Copies of this chain bind each other. A is one copy, B any other.
Amino acid sequence: MKDVNPALVEAKAKILKALAHQTRLYIVEELAKGEKCVCEFVEEVGADFSTVSKHLSLLKEAGIVQVDKRGQKVFYSLKVPCIINFLDCIEAIIKSNLEEQNSMFK
């Protein structure tokens, strides 16, 4: 790849991969409102405990969330706040896609 540091591109792709899943995206958006424990996500997402735990550790591995064990519960929270504005751009793309589809019927 021309003009770029392949290791940097790979690092970025890793973070994007961590976000690129419905469940993990949901988790990140929920964490934008405040910390939550694994058990809450299990209930909300409707998946196995192990499945949710793996999604969370993937997000942690990517450096997007951080962990705080308190008592028998494990709480996750967002580590990098800009993630939220960042998702605004994604919404802008969706809006632009929708407008394009609508304009086909005018």
Residues of A at under 8 Å CB distance from B? 1-4, 6, 8-13, 15-17, 19-22, 25-26, 29-30, 44-46, 62-64, 79-80, 82-83, 85-94, 96-97, 100
Contact = CB atoms under 8 A, between A and B. Distances in A.
A63 B11 contact: no
Contact of A15 (B4, B12, B90): B90
A31 to B, nearest CB: 13
Contacts of A3: 30
A19 B20 contact: yes
Nearest to A4: B26
Contact of A21 (B13, B15, B88): B13
B90 A12 contact: yes
A94 B11 contact: yes
A52 to B, nearest CB: 12
Looking at A1, A3, A91, the one whose CB has the most chain B CB atoms below 10 A away is: A1
